[in-house]
Structure 1
């Protein structure tokens, strides 16, 4: 497919996991992809195999870095068509034992970065009638035991996505989010192995009904669809890619 030919797409979190898979998928469909990550070596590795792609280091926890990233993309390419907010971190633990530092870091990277990047990108996306694909989570749609802080940030992404979608629909800027369930990525590596007193019955309630874990490419396919003109009349949706985790 060549759905993204001529489009400039900024993908954060592109050094690994869903971000890398999304960068690869968008490039395969013709997009000029900017691979952004705090891990510059990983972003460069992703970009090196993609035609016309480039890598940029940025800090998702820094408002200034987020603004500078968007400015860099527009200065270099003259426009921005797609913003994929995929950079994120995980965090597991009993609700009463999550540290202030962990909470602040999760909010900064998983939620505030999307605010800062979106705010900077919207004027440019209006010019191109572009779109935004945010990475939420199944944990942002329903409760997930031992992930209270993480779930709170992803629920924030859900609310923010819906609201911006409403505000910018008449301006022809689409804003959607994907809600993955368990995905085989570094983010969940190690999972809950270090948490004492885990009630696995609570975890099994959020288990997928299909295969145990999705692959990053499964989510990247959804990213590419929502970023493309095939989804031209879709905005404000939270698309689960979770093997039925949130189906009931």
Structure 2
């Protein structure tokens, strides 16, 4: 197993992409602390290598306490996975300052200051940071100005952290997922005309949309010694969607 005994903090690890990340980390032997606003399910609660903590990551006063408690429960922190985030659609004409601030607080501020709080632990063993960005940090969908801005910010922050923390033996990389299947995405597709799923699959050269485990696979690689010479990179995991130039229909 690549990550036997590694101690990993994952924000937002209870469902969706976060759950795919947690499942793969556990399969590789890691011990995982999940930090999120809500509870985790029974399967995760009863897993012998899972710790679950509830926290509001939009609250700046929460970061130091969360990291300290995770380090106490796990005996340290080797890997930080900044996965928790928010996404909503709002036009430029309609978005409010409070909505903008919420998006920035969770998607951009929390990863930076959780990293800051975790630094003493990550320095101990030459740790790794994995940030979850998005292909919307590279391109954009309609009404996603705030979301795209925060994800592009995560990509830039990842490169800057790699530069600043390299001397401490800490690597920092990001993953930019494309369309990843979830309950919300399936509900969205169900509201579209017949053929929407086939059309969506056809956007991907691999012939399908992503699964949470696909992102988990990439996290396992970036958290492991197999990527020891990789830092400051944003790895796009999107089934080739952004590589595929559209043709006129």
TM-score relative to the length of structure 2: 0.87
Note if contact 1:4-1:29 (Cα within 8 Å) is conserved in structure 2: yes
Whether the 8 Å contact between 2:32 and 2:50 is mirrored in structure 1 is yes
Q: Which residue of 1 is the match for residue 194 of structure 2?
A: none
Pick aligned residue for 2:226 from 227, 230, 233 = 230
Please say which of residues 29-38 and 211-220 is displaced more in the overlay. Answer: 211-220
1:73-222 aligned at under 5 Å gives the runs 73-186=70-183, 188=185, 207-222=203-218
Which whole-Å CA distance do the structure 2 matches of 1:73 and 1:38 have between them?
A: 15
Offset of residue 145 of structure 1: 2.5
Equivalents in 1 of 2:171, 2:238: separation in Å?
Answer: 23
Structure 2: 5+ residue stretches without partners? 192-199
| Contact 1:92 1:191 survives alignment (8 Å) | no
Who is 1:7 aligned against?
6
The DSSP-based 3-state class of the residue aligned with 2:67 is: helix
* 2:33–2:74 contact (8 Å) kept in structure 1: no
Question: Alpha carbons of 1:230 and 1:79: their partners in 2 closer, same or farther (altered >3 Å)?
Answer: same
Kept in 2: contact 1:15–1:46 (CA 8 A): no
Equivalent of residue 238 in structure 2, options 236, 242, 247? 242
- RMSD, aligned α-carbons: 2.4
Alpha-carbon distance in structure 1 between the residues aligned to 2:189 and 2:20: 24
CA–CA distance in structure 2, aligned partners of residues 46 and 107 of structure 1: 32
Q: For residues 215 and 135 of structure 1, do their structure 2 counterparts lie closer, same or farther at Cα, with a shift above 3 Å needed?
A: same
Gaps of 5+ in 1: 195-203
Q: Once the two structures are superposed, what CA deviation does each residue of 1:87-141 show, in whole Å capped at 9, x if it has no partner?
A: 0111113222222222111111111110111111122101111100000000012
Q: Is the 8 A contact 1:181 1:208 kept in 2?
A: no
- Pick aligned residue for 1:57 from 54, 58, 63: 54
In structure 2, relative to structure 1, the CA distance for the partners of 1:61 and 1:188 (3 Å cut) is: farther
Deviation at 1:190, TM superposition (A): 5.5
SS at match of 2:241: coil
Aligned residues: 237
Q: For the Cα contact (< 8 Å) 2:7–2:78, is it kept in 1?
A: yes
The structure having more radius of gyration, on CA atoms, is: 2
